[in-house]
């Protein structure tokens, strides 16, 4: 594809959209490779270090584990505080009439481009997404829908797109169906390459011919199962209009994975809600946010960096880092604290669900590839303030490290000194107190789950008639699965992803299957 | 007037910073406090003079359920952390009397030393007061799946034992309606095989703090004729005494072979004079017991003598599945003796009888009494 002419200066660099070390040469390649190795190596060193410490210096290991368990309790409390606050704010935002709030702005000139990349998802899912889009409280003539199909998905996907255009084509200002060609050299098959192709087609076929200005266009890229709440675009407009630098901001809603929550198995519900809660926590500390999953951004910002990267997996978060680095660090994520509904990852069988969740989380946690990208460009773009670079480097490193190591250390390695410690250690009160103390601290930390349980109940869609009221009890109690889900669907896939990156076994894009009963 | 913005603002930086600093403060305070607590330091709130004290602990494993642990006359509450183990916290340093008792089982009692910041381990065992046996008869009645006793129903061939077998008594000697019990044939063959037994006429030396001092034996002891080995422990007989010897790696040596050495007098008081005597005998050539640097060092023996109640030993072996309990066939019955000799060795009667024979086959203990074969259980849960 032709490079847009209005790229920001930094975005014109040949290595701006580097996807992996092998795309570079010389010193840059070695540096990038080192940065790819770093997160996995650091995580493995930590885990092996705790084991070694437990064996050779069990007293030190025991002190470390006690300190770590206290840290975990306090961290849980800290995150719960953010979660509870954002929950209040989310409910408040849902209760507002955003149409009234934006009356004072003139926004008729702003167009909403909605990009819906899809692959082989069933028609019913796309239908529900478009229905919700048709029901938003926003002038539909200012909404441009881009249904982005893949050539490799074959005729069935084309047929679905044709039917959707036929049904919804007149509802919106424009309805464009694009077909991303298969096997484009240099591209990785996935959402990023599809979306980039689609948005460029939208520019060429709709924005430019109609004279729609790029800085008057907001692009919302939604996963195909995204169901919008009626005031989404009004809420987006309010935040766009009041943002400190609207054209240098991405707008992040809260993804609630509850479309199919009543049908999904408990494990899928817990994992899905946990992901939602993490995003809610992040909404209250936007300086640590990157965009995730469905989100919105001005077209101009996208155009200035050449849209999404087409050569890597985590395009949803990478686009934020592209924008942040190309704008010399002067770029924000604005939390909307307003929800969009999506599907919990559930397959037809429990084992299928477990496998799908694992793969999905491995793909999400493969976002660690951003670490190498960000750190690499931090060494190149000195216009980003040093303070910002240091803070972000620490936050990123700590985040990826904690994701993988904390649950394992807490629930498994906490017992290591007891099994691996020396004879002298086993004779001590410390050896016996350690598991009791860690257990008690974890129980205290579990109170955070009570908060999660209560909040999750308030975020449920209406109960289907065929589901018993007793299901609410199950939905409340299911949170005891969290220790297991943290290890199986967070730490292990995270370690898997980091290890693959560390070894240079780069991952491809895995499309989460969407299916509803 | 309609609002122009949401009333609930995002969490402010100052609020977040305040919460973060509070958490950091709590972390800074809690880490040293909990580390001190975990290592045995306790703050004495109740005393008029507030002060720190340093405690130890006890870890008692026990296979018998429904038993109670009593330390210094006080029952220990809520102490089980695993089904078969109890960790007793906050035990002051010193010598403590521990009972493990329960209904229908023999009481295990021991004086155990506890040291500051250390945990004293012990394994109690509680055999049934009434021996638990299963009778293996020559004939079985297949109609009722029961063994057949050719005895009047009024006789009691296994006085003082509880049998789990279903038995029918008959005075008739006719066997046409019965089937031969193949297990009986097997067990009979076990007893038909000559077993090596060691007998002794030696008089036992004192075994515990409270044991009387006995005179030198007047008869010549019979030398050891057999040894038994399970994992890294060997049982052998020498000069009429039975010994347990650790032959494995030092770092895996069980706790009861070792002492936390103080000085000669204190060690003898805490563990028993016999323990110190054995320690001295075994280590005197390599260890200077007068050296004050030995204080709080762990000193280990390799051999422990097994109490035989001043009786002749007809047979000895490990209780199946254990390395710390010894089955001793003595003159008046079959006993179980623990290897752990701190303060003394608990000796509990498994099956009484002066005219019994004993064979161990795998995990099973068989006793022959008169013409009957019995399987004896060392576990009340049967």
| pLDDT tens, position by position, B261-298 | 888 888 889 999 999 888 888 887 777 777 777 777 88
Is residue B333 very low, low, confident or very high in pLDDT (cuts 50, 70, 90)?
Answer: very high
Chain B contact for A37, CB < 8 A?
no
d(CA B240, CA B311): 10
Q: Which residues pair with B258 in a beta bridge?
A: B300
Stretch B175-200: mean pLDDT: 69
- A117 burial type by CB count under 10 A (0-12 exposed, 13-18 middle, 19+ buried): buried
Q: Does B31 score more than 60 pLDDT?
A: yes
pLDDT of amino acid B26: 97
* CB of A299 closer than 8 Å to CB of A217: yes
More confidently predicted of A505 and B185: A505
Q: How far is A467 from chain B (nearest CA, A)?
A: 35
d(CA A323, CA B18): 31
d(CA B34, CA A78): 20
Is residue B36 very low, low, confident or very high in pLDDT (cuts 50, 70, 90)?
Answer: very high
Q: Does B69 score more than 50 pLDDT?
A: yes
* CB of B67 closer than 8 Å to CB of B103: no
Q: Which of A144-153, A178-187, A474-483, B100-109 has the lowest mean pLDDT?
A: A474-483
Stretch A312-321: mean pLDDT: 90
pLDDT of amino acid B162: 67
- What number of H helices and E strands is found in chain A? 20, 8
pLDDT of amino acid B225: 53
Chain B contact for A439, CB < 8 A?
no
User: Residues of A373-406 as b/e, b for ≥16 C-beta within 10 angstroms?
Assistant: bbbbbbeebeebeeeebeebeeebeebbbbbbbb
Q: Does B221 score more than 50 pLDDT?
A: no
Q: Which two tokens stand for residue B176?
A: 């046409």
Q: Does B302 score more than 70 pLDDT?
A: yes
- CB nearest A429 (choices: B27, B57, B255): B57
Helix (H) or strand (E) holding B16: helix B13-38
Cα-only R_g, chain A: 24
Stretch A334-362: mean pLDDT: 90
* Angle value at C-alpha B56, between B54 and B61, nearest 5 degrees: 165
- CB nearest A429 (choices: B5, B119, B251): B119
CB contact under 8 A, B117 and A423: no
Q: Does B238 score more than 50 pLDDT?
A: yes
- CB nearest B8 (choices: A92, A104, A238): A92
- B325 burial type by CB count under 10 A (0-12 exposed, 13-18 middle, 19+ buried): buried
CB contact under 8 A, A423 and B251: yes
A304: helix, strand or coil = helix
Q: Which two tokens stand for residue A209?
A: 């011919």
d(CA A374, CA A387): 15
Antiparallel, parallel or unpaired: β B119-124 and B56-62: parallel
Q: Which residues pair with A250 in a beta bridge?
A: A297, A333
What is A321-373 written as a DSSP string? HHHHHHTTT--EEEEEEEEEE------SSHHHHHHHHHHHHHHHHGGGHHHHH
Stretch B131-151: mean pLDDT: 75
Q: How far is B307 from chain A (nearest CA, A)?
A: 27
Count other Cβ atoms within 10 Å, centred on residue A26: 7
d(CA A195, CA A146): 9
CA-to-CA separations, B345 to A500, B129, B275, B336, B376, in angstroms, rounded: 58, 18, 11, 10, 22
* CB of B81 closer than 8 Å to CB of B144: no
d(CA A414, CA A433): 12
Beta strands per DSSP E along A118-183: 143-150, 174-180
In whole numbers, what is the pLDDT of chain A averaged over residues? 92
pLDDT of amino acid B49: 67
Q: How far is B378 from chain A (nearest CA, A)?
A: 29
pLDDT of amino acid B68: 86
d(CA B311, CA A466): 77
pLDDT of amino acid A327: 97
Count other Cβ atoms within 10 Å, centred on residue A425: 20
Is residue B194 very low, low, confident or very high in pLDDT (cuts 50, 70, 90)?
Answer: low
Stretch A91-96: mean pLDDT: 95
Q: Does B224 score more than 70 pLDDT?
A: no
Q: Which two tokens stand for residue A298?
A: 């001005």
Is residue A226 very low, low, confident or very high in pLDDT (cuts 50, 70, 90)?
Answer: very high
CB contact under 8 A, B27 and A85: no
> What are the pLDDT digits (tens) for B334-350?
999 999 999 999 999 99
Q: Does B108 score more than 90 pLDDT?
A: yes
CB contact under 8 A, A428 and B119: yes
Q: What is the biggest distance separating any 2 CA atoms in chain B, rounded to whole angstroms?
A: 114
d(CA A492, CA A478): 21
pLDDT of amino acid B163: 64
Q: Which of A168-182, A247-261, B84-98 has the lowest mean pLDDT?
A: B84-98
Q: How far is A504 from chain B (nearest CA, A)?
A: 38
State what percent of residues in chain A have pLDDT above 70: 97
Q: For helices A26-56 and A58-95, what crossing angle results, to 10°?
A: 120
Q: Which residue of A has its CA nearest to B255?
A: A427
Residues found in chain B = 382
This prediction has a pTM of: 0.81
* CB of B231 closer than 8 Å to CB of B314: no
Q: Which of A368-377, B157-166, B193-202, B319-328 has the lowest mean pLDDT?
A: B193-202
Q: Does A494 score more than 80 pLDDT?
A: yes
d(CA A136, CA A172): 11
Highest mean pLDDT of the ranges A141-150, B174-183, B198-207: A141-150
Is residue A150 very low, low, confident or very high in pLDDT (cuts 50, 70, 90)?
Answer: very high
d(CA A364, CA A373): 16
Q: Which of B370, B372, B373, B379 is nearest to B350 (CA)?
A: B379
CB contact under 8 A, A428 and B117: yes
pLDDT of amino acid B203: 41
pLDDT of amino acid A468: 87
Centroid of chain to Cα B382: 18
Q: Does B5 score more than 90 pLDDT?
A: no
- B373 burial type by CB count under 10 A (0-12 exposed, 13-18 middle, 19+ buried): buried
CB contact under 8 A, A285 and B56: no
Chain B contact for A335, CB < 8 A?
yes
Using a CB-CB distance cutoff of 8 angstroms, which residues of chain A are in contact with residue B16? 82, 284-285
Stretch B367-377: mean pLDDT: 86
User: What does the H/E/C string look like for A401-433?
Assistant: HHHHHHHHHHHCHHHHHHHHCCHHHHCEHHHHH
Is residue A93 very low, low, confident or very high in pLDDT (cuts 50, 70, 90)?
Answer: very high
CB contact under 8 A, A66 and B39: no
Using a CB-CB distance cutoff of 8 angstroms, which residues of chain A are in contact with residue B255? 427
Is residue B216 very low, low, confident or very high in pLDDT (cuts 50, 70, 90)?
Answer: very low
d(CA B182, CA B163): 19
Q: Which two tokens stand for residue A60?
A: 């030190």
More confidently predicted of A139 and B79: A139
In whole numbers, what is the pLDDT of chain B averaged over residues? 81
The ipTM of this complex is 0.85
Q: Which residue of B has its CA nearest to A81?
A: B19
User: What does the H/E/C string look like for A86-111?
Assistant: HHHHHHHHHHCCHHHHCCCCCCCCCE
More confidently predicted of B378 and A341: A341
- In chain A, which among 167-226 make CB contacts under 8 A with chain B? none
Q: Which of A107-111, A188-192, A228-232 has the lowest mean pLDDT?
A: A188-192
d(CA B290, CA A175): 96
CB contact under 8 A, B7 and A82: no
> What are the pLDDT digits (tens) for A198-211?
999 999 999 999 99
State what percent of residues in chain B have pLDDT above 70: 78
pLDDT of amino acid B153: 57
Q: How far is B27 from chain A (nearest CA, A)?
A: 7
Residue carrying the six token digits 């030092």:
B250
Q: Which residues pair with A144 in a beta bridge?
A: A113, A174
State what percent of residues in chain A have pLDDT above 90: 70
């Amino acid at each position: 594809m032709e490079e847009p002419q209005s790229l920001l200066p930094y975005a014109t660099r040949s290595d701006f959209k580097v996807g992996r070390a092998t795309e570079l040469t010389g010193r840059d390649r070695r540096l990038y490779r080192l940065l790819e190795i770093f997160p996995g190596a650091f995580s493995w060193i930590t885990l092996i270090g705790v084991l070694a410490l437990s064996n050779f210096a069990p007293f030190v290991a025991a002190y470390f584990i006690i300190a770590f368990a206290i840290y975990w309790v306090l961290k849980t409390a800290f995150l719960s505080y953010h979660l509870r606050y954002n929950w209040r704010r989310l409910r408040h935002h849902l209760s507002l009439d955003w149409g009234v709030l934006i009356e004072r702005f003139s926004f008729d000139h702003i167009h909403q481009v909605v990009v819906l990349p899809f692959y082989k998802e069933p028609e019913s899912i796309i239908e529900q997404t478009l229905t919700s889009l048709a029901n938003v409280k926003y002038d539909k003539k200012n909404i441009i829908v881009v249904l982005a199909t893949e050539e490799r998905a074959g005729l069935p996907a084309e047929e679905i797109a044709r039917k959707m255009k036929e049904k919804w084509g007149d509802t919106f200002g424009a309805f464009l169906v694009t077909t991303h060609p298969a096997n484009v050299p240099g591209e990785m098959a996935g959402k990023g390459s599809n979306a980039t192709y689609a948005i460029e087609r939208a520019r060429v076929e709709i924005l430019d011919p109609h004279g729609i200005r790029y800085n008057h266009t907001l692009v919302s890229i939604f996963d195909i199962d995204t169901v919008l709440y009626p005031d989404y675009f009004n809420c987006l407009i309010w935040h766009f209009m009041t943002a400190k630098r609207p054209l240098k901001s991405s707008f992040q809603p809260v993804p609630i994975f509850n479309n199919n929550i009543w049908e999904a198995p408990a494990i899928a519900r817990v994992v899905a809600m946990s992901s939602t809660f993490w995003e809610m926590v992040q909404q209250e500390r936007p300086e640590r946010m990157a965009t995730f999953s469905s989100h919105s951004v001005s077209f101009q910002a996208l155009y200035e960096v050449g849209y999404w990267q087409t050569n890597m997996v985590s395009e949803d978060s990478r686009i934020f880092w592209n924008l942040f680095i190309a704008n010399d660090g002067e770029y924000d994520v604005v939390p909307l604290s307003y929800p969009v509904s999506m599907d919990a990852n559930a397959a037809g069988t429990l084992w299928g669900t477990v496998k799908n969740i694992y793969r999905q989380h491995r793909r999400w946690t493969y976002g660690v590839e951003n670490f190498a990208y960000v750190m690499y460009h931090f060494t190149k773009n000195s216009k980003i303030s040093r303070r910002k670079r240091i803070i972000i480097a620490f936050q990123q490193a700590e985040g990826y490290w904690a994701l993988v190591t904390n649950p394992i250390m807490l629930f498994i390695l906490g017992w290591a000194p007891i099994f691996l410690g020396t004879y002298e250690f086993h004779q001590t009160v410390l050896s016996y107190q350690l598991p009791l103390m860690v257990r008690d601290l974890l129980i205290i930390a579990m109170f955070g789950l009570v908060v999660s349980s209560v909040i999750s109940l308030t975020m449920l869609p209406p109960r289907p008639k065929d589901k018993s009221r007793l299901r609410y009890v199950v939905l409340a109690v299911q949170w005891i699965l969290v220790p297991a889900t943290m290890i199986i669907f967070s730490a292990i896939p995270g370690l898997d992803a980091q290890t693959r990156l560390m070894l240079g076994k780069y991952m491809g894009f895995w499309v989460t299957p969407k299916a509803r009963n | 007037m309609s609002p122009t913005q949401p009333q609930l603002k995002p969490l402010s930086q100052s609020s977040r910073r305040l919460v973060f600093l509070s958490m950091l403060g709590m972390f800074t305070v809690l880490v040293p406090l909990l580390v001190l607590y975990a290592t045995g330091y306790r703050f004495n709130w109740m005393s008029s003079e507030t002060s720190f004290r340093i405690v130890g602990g006890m870890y008692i494993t026990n296979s018998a359920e429904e038993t109670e642990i009593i330390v210094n006359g006080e029952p220990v509450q809520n102490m089980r952390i695993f089904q078969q183990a109890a960790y007793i916290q906050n035990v002051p340093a010193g010598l403590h009397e521990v009972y493990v008792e329960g209904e229908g089982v023999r009481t295990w009692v021991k004086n155990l030393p506890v040291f500051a910041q250390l945990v004293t381990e012990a394994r109690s065992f509680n055999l049934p007061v009434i021996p638990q046996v299963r009778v293996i008869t020559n004939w079985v009645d297949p109609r009722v799946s029961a063994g057949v006793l050719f005895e009047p129903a009024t006789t009691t061939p296994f006085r003082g034992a509880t049998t789990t077998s279903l038995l029918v008594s008959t005075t008739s000697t006719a066997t046409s309606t019965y089937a031969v019990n193949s297990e009986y044939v097997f067990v009979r063959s076990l007893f038909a095989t000559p077993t090596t037994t060691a007998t002794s006429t030696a008089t036992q030396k004192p075994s515990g703090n409270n044991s009387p001092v006995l005179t030198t034996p007047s008869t010549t002891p019979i030398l050891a004729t057999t040894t038994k080995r399970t994992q890294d422990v060997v049982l052998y007989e020498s000069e009429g005494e039975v010994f347990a010897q650790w032959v494995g790696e030092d770092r895996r040596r069980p706790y009861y072979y070792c002492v936390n050495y103080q000085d000669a007098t204190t060690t003898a008081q805490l563990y028993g004079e016999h323990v110190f005597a054995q320690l001295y005998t075994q280590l005197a050539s390599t260890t200077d017991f007068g050296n004050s640097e030995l204080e709080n060092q762990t000193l280990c023996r390799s051999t422990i003598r097994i109490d035989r109640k001043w009786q002749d030993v007809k047979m000895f072996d490990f209780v199946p599945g254990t390395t710390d309990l010894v089955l001793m066939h003595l003159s008046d019955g079959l006993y179980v003796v623990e290897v752990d000799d701190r303060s003394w060795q608990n000796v509990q009667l498994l099956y009484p009888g002066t005219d019994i024979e004993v064979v161990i086959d795998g995990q099973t203990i068989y006793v022959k009494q008169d013409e009957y074969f019995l399987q004896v259980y060392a576990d009340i849960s049967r």
